[in-house]
Amino acid sequence: TAGSKIVLNNIFFDFDMATLRPESTAELNRLLKLINDNTSMIIEISGHTDNKGSDKYNQKLSENRAKAVVDYLTEKGINKERLQFKGYGEIEPMASNETEEGQQLNRRIEFKILSK
């Protein structure tokens, strides 16, 4: 339903990079199938980081990572009109940044259904 947010658990980037790693393909292809199966769905891909580094740096990194996912989807034939991306940096943590496990959870890509 519109407004739903889903964490994409198996999207991987190299440290400090916005390049998708090959092991991200399976999760990306599941998302691709979902979008193809719901031809009127419009989504936002959002990037999130932990709190290491400056706010400005994390904002840009999260944006670039979200854009990398959108670029993958458009390369696979999804109309870019159906995709938006946004970087949230470190402002929406899922867990405490005090532990390595929490930081890992906070470094994520989500998608939000904007309209069905």
Q: 14-47: per-residue pLDDT in tens?
A: 878 899 999 999 999 999 999 999 999 999 999 9
Residue of 83, 28, 90 lying closest to 61 (CA atoms): 90
Note if the pTM is more than 0.85: yes
Using CA atoms, how far apart are residues 30 and 38, in angstroms rounded to an integer?
13
Length of the chain, in residues: 116
